[in-house]
Structure 1
Amino acid sequence: MMMNKQVKQALLHAKDTRAVFFASGALTQVGETFAATFPGAKAQIIADENTEAVAGEVARKSLSKAGIDLCEGLCFPAHPTLYAGYERVSEIVEVLARTPAVPIVIGSGTLNDLVKRAAFELERPYMVIATAASMDGYTAYGASLAKDGHKQTLPCPAPLAVVADVAVLAEAPSAMTASGYADLLGKVTAGADWLVADALGVELIDNRSWSLVQEPLRISIGQPEALARGDLKTIELLVEGLLMSGVAMQVHASSRPASGSEHQFSHLWEMEGLGRNLVPPLSHGFKVGIGSIAVAALYEELFESDLCAVDVDACCRAWPSFADLEDRARQAHPLLGDIAVAQLSGKYVSGEGLAARLNRLVEVWPKLRERLLDQLLPAIKLRDMLKVAGCPTTPEEIGLTREELKASYSRAQMIRSRYTVLDVAVETGLLDSCVEKLFAPGGYWASDS
């Protein structure tokens, strides 16, 4: 089976993944792909009852046809829904350690992350058979797991091979496909945040990883109506966008190409367990979708401000010491204070450093503003696209009050060291006033909107 041309080209620069096949019927090529990627190796399948029912039989037949020996694996029950807790990694490691086989995980977000980390701890490569177009983590470095009381990204390589049968993905619950769409739509605001960090000299854009995400993005997110209908070609475009985002993170050895302030909202809510006890649990993508709208709305308020007229001296006089900032972080995050303080320490600058950054902002803002306007979509447009695709578009739909969302603007800025538009708003002293406008009558998040 031939690899998609764009993905094949992208893999030339990937650090881990060597083979990605996605097309209708790709599941029948699992054995051939495994044999070519892991010559002479035995295989061991990790799945749950749902993913086993969807793809297990065909995958096993394909492996058998290719002469691959299968060792006894592990199949989790369908209920309760598997949670990405680190204790599950230990359980998988125990099973995998019984043989020298290469793990094959059949599943999506949680299962993939659990096996990804387990394989890493045993210093083994692994393969994934995708069962839903629900997130961009299939080809991404790292696993998002709950450890030591909070959700965090643990280091581990991406899979050596990925097989994604578009016909199988199209049969996944529509909410999972919608979640993948929301995750991919978040690359719009993530790209804007990288433009900001690049223009201010905080984190320069890597053109290769930028293009892997941004070049196919508008096509991949451009047909939410067809996606909601289950159109196979549109699902294939979504999958391509998600896979390319994951590869970009491999290339850059960081999630920066695919994750900005919209993910900081999502990470905050995930760390606090928002929607964890729902059946099924609230998806990562749906939280990212609300975060994307929130960030786009903030950008629009900043565009209404004249950042060329920022009073740099006044901002520096108002700039808190790190000790004061630590106090604020602990008050804002009673349960996550240590994490917030550690992350803030990674991006805190002195008054002198702040002055240099703000002077640069004043200088570059006219051109940067134009680049941001070209990159972004209006918050209302993002909302409409998400709604058509079947995603939540209001905080209440994901279990948040307007007041909780309002507080999230400042709280999200504290829980990641990545520089984003939230930091621009904080450093210019405009965050509070912008957020007040967003929630005031006539603002985007007004209670009657």
Structure 2
Amino acid sequence: MENIEISIEFNPEIIQRIYSIIKEDPDYKPKPYRRGMLRIEQALEATSDTRALRLGDGILEEVADLFAKQFPRRKAIIVADTNTYAAAGKRVEEALRKAGIEQESPFIFESSTLHAEYSCVTELVECFKKCEAIPIAVGSGTINDLTKLASHLVGKRYMCVATAASMDGYTAYGASIRTNDIKQLFPCVAPQAVLVDTDVILQSPTKMTTSGYADLLAKMTAGADWIIADWLGVEPIDEKAWKITQSGFHEALLLTEKASVQDEHTTIAKLMEGLMLGGFAMQLVKTNRPASGAEHLLSNFWELERRIKKTKAVSHGDLLSIGILAITAFYEWVVNAPLEDLDIQKCCANWPDAEAYERQAKEAISEIGLNVCIQEAKAKYISREQLGIQLQQLKEYWPEIRERLSQQLIPYKEMKAKMKQIGLPTNPEEVGISRSHLRQTFLCTQYMNRRFTVLDLALRTGYMNTWLNGLFGKGKIWEI
């Protein structure tokens, strides 16, 4: 594909070693020391929006060169908040000035605790309409999503300079924006170019980096949900997106095992590669299915709940880590269930009609004070006839499905140990969630999003309470 630029810095020590080998053996053909380079190249070739990625140590000054190549003879306008402008925005502005690139005055959100609210998108849209400049988002998830949607709404492409390894949305299609208290994914194209200076990333708060690890680890349970949805004919797996996403996930597992023996620049660079890969996969299929499953439904539910009830906010990464562990534990009961013996006739007889299903959804959500997203629940409903066809598919192919799930999933105890090593919370009480409330969340979240997950499998097979009883109670993972 033409006009694709990849610039990933290599470890100088590795390059020196390869150079020495070549001098000793002229026939030696060096291989990239980092498998991720090939994956990122393939991902860029497969995507339609992002054309260039530069990732390396101390490369922030290259922002002017990258901008000039991607947007020749165009003005620039930096978008940042007070934190990200101090972290990188001021140096980006200076680098552009030195290169002779014209700029509009930077658009800086004054709040140090900025959130991705639609009102902020409106502010940016009004600004972008008044000038011809190309936006450069200098920040992490919030700044990138706000700039992404605002640029899309005025018909502009944009560039991103990442400031934290906090999430996988940098290169993703769509922006996660809160409107009417509900976080929604708005369709919009990803940045045309992305620059990641690991020196900048390493200066970000540790909590943001652990959030990035949580987003990568979520690919395990999200992938398991996609496997089930694929086998049941709900949402087929896109093989290219699958390979891109899952390679990033497995890289994350290696990172947790080798972090102590790697230098911090190498570790953070590999983390950022994994996050970029997740974004590329979402860009490829124009949905966040490759990176988001039941674990994100739980964490998004808790975020929404806290906002509506005006309780203390907890970081996305911390809530997501509990969501991942909860779904990982739940899956251990799923894969051991005898679904090859499922009584389909009984399941269909117990399945509610559309009106009863809507009542169940309202009751489940209203029990904890949230009477929203009923339209999502209604969109997911299937008839008894459709359920019968779906469950027959499940019953017939359950041995194969179970085998693939077993290959995809990590045991609960192992995942918990990895999270502790990273510094993520592993008990619901650490993020202000009681065990009884955690159990209740399992019963609510499948009604709040139309995406098919393992929670829908539990509901449709009638196993929900059985599997939850295996997790909650005396002598179980979470005693109540």
Interval of TM-score (by shorter of Structure 1 and Structure 2): over 0.9
- The CA deviation string for residues 304-335 of structure 1, in whole angstroms up to 9 with x for no partner, is 32111111111111001111111111122236
Out of 262, 266, 269, the residue aligned to residue 295 of structure 2 is 262
1:404 is displaced (CA, Å) by 1.2
Q: Distance in 2 between matches of 1:275 and 1:34?
A: 41
1:124 is displaced (CA, Å) by 0.9
- The CA deviation string for residues 86-106 of structure 1, in whole angstroms up to 9 with x for no partner, is 111112222222211011111
Amino acid at match of 1:176: M
Cα pair 1:28 1:59 within 8 Å, conserved: yes
Match of 1:53 in 2: 86
Cα pair 1:43 1:70 within 8 Å, conserved: yes
- The CA deviation string for residues 348-404 of structure 1, in whole angstroms up to 9 with x for no partner, is 211111111111111111111111011000122111111111111111111211111
Match of 1:180 in 2: 212
Out of 326, 337, 347, the residue aligned to residue 305 of structure 1 is 337
Q: Distance in 2 between matches of 1:379 and 1:178?
A: 19
Match of 2:7 in 1: 3
1:223 is displaced (CA, Å) by 2.6
Q: Which stretch shows the higher mean deviation, 123-132 or 6-15?
A: 6-15
Cα pair 2:248 2:278 within 8 Å, conserved: no
- The CA deviation string for residues 159-204 of structure 1, in whole angstroms up to 9 with x for no partner, is 1111111111111111100000011100001111111111111111
Out of 312, 321, 330, the residue aligned to residue 289 of structure 1 is 321
- The CA deviation string for residues 390-437 of structure 1, in whole angstroms up to 9 with x for no partner, is 111111111211111111112111111111111111111001121122
- Asked which structure has the greater RCO (Cα within 8 Å, sep 6+), the reply is 1
Q: Distance in 1 between matches of 2:304 and 2:186?
A: 14
Q: Distance in 2 between matches of 1:144 and 1:420?
A: 20
Q: Distance in 1 between matches of 2:147 and 2:452?
A: 31
DSSP 3-state at the match of 2:176: strand
Match of 1:253 in 2: 286
Amino acid at match of 1:103: P
Listed as ranges, the matches of 1:375-414 within 5 Å are 375-414=408-447
1:332 correspondence with 2:364 = yes
Out of 189, 193, 201, the residue aligned to residue 225 of structure 2 is 193
Match of 1:147 in 2: 179
Q: Distance in 2 between matches of 1:98 and 1:72?
A: 12
Cα pair 2:6 2:52 within 8 Å, conserved: no
Match of 2:68 in 1: 35
1:107 is displaced (CA, Å) by 0.5
Q: Which stretches in structure 2 are left out of the alignment for 5+ residues?
A: 9-36
Listed as ranges, the matches of 1:68-217 within 5 Å are 68-79=101-112, 81-217=113-249
For the aligned residues, what is the CA RMSD? Answer: 1.9
Match of 1:44 in 2: 77
Quick one: structure 1 residues 175 and 276, their matched pair in 2 at CA, closer, same or farther if it must change by over 3 Å?
farther
Quick one: structure 1 residues 65 and 278, their matched pair in 2 at CA, closer, same or farther if it must change by over 3 Å?
farther
Quick one: structure 1 residues 76 and 86, their matched pair in 2 at CA, closer, same or farther if it must change by over 3 Å?
same
Q: Distance in 2 between matches of 1:246 and 1:219?
A: 15
Q: Which stretch shows the higher mean deviation, 253-262 or 6-15?
A: 6-15
Cα pair 1:35 1:66 within 8 Å, conserved: no
Q: Which stretch shows the higher mean deviation, 356-365 or 302-311?
A: 302-311
Q: Which stretches in structure 1 are left out of the alignment for 5+ residues?
A: none
- The CA deviation string for residues 247-289 of structure 1, in whole angstroms up to 9 with x for no partner, is 100101111111111111122122223599788x422222221
Q: Which stretch shows the higher mean deviation, 196-205 or 282-291?
A: 282-291
| Structure ID, larger Rg | 2
1:343 correspondence with 2:376 = yes
Q: Which stretch shows the higher mean deviation, 150-159 or 4-13?
A: 4-13
Amino acid at match of 1:388: Q
Q: Distance in 2 between matches of 1:276 and 1:236?
A: 38
DSSP 3-state at the match of 2:442: helix
Cα pair 1:266 1:284 within 8 Å, conserved: yes
Question: Normalising by the residue count of structure 2, what TM-score does the alignment of the two structures yield?
Answer: 0.88
1:39 is displaced (CA, Å) by 1.1
Amino acid at match of 2:320: V
Q: Distance in 1 between matches of 2:64 and 2:177?
A: 29
Quick one: structure 1 residues 277 and 32, their matched pair in 2 at CA, closer, same or farther if it must change by over 3 Å?
farther
**Which runs of structure 1 show a deviation greater than 6 angstroms over 4 or more consecutive aligned residues?**
275-279
1:7 is displaced (CA, Å) by 1.7
Quick one: structure 1 residues 131 and 211, their matched pair in 2 at CA, closer, same or farther if it must change by over 3 Å?
same
1:148 is displaced (CA, Å) by 2.0
Q: Distance in 2 between matches of 1:55 and 1:22?
A: 15
Match of 1:441 in 2: 474
Quick one: structure 1 residues 164 and 278, their matched pair in 2 at CA, closer, same or farther if it must change by over 3 Å?
farther
DSSP 3-state at the match of 2:477: coil
Q: Distance in 2 between matches of 1:274 and 1:376?
A: 32
Amino acid at match of 1:373: S
Q: Distance in 1 between matches of 2:41 and 2:311?
A: 38
Cα pair 2:216 2:248 within 8 Å, conserved: no
Q: Distance in 1 between matches of 2:145 and 2:365?
A: 27
Q: Distance in 1 between matches of 2:256 and 2:243?
A: 22
Cα pair 1:275 1:282 within 8 Å, conserved: no
DSSP 3-state at the match of 1:70: coil
Q: Distance in 2 between matches of 1:403 and 1:220?
A: 31
Out of 208, 218, 221, the residue aligned to residue 250 of structure 2 is 218
1:221 is displaced (CA, Å) by 3.0
Quick one: structure 1 residues 234 and 429, their matched pair in 2 at CA, closer, same or farther if it must change by over 3 Å?
same
Q: Distance in 2 between matches of 1:411 and 1:126?
A: 38
Amino acid at match of 2:148: K
Out of 359, 362, 380, the residue aligned to residue 395 of structure 2 is 362
- The CA deviation string for residues 200-252 of structure 1, in whole angstroms up to 9 with x for no partner, is 11111111000001123212332336658972211111110100000100101
Q: Which stretch shows the higher mean deviation, 31-40 or 65-74?
A: 65-74
Q: Distance in 2 between matches of 1:134 and 1:43?
A: 25
Cα pair 2:335 2:405 within 8 Å, conserved: no
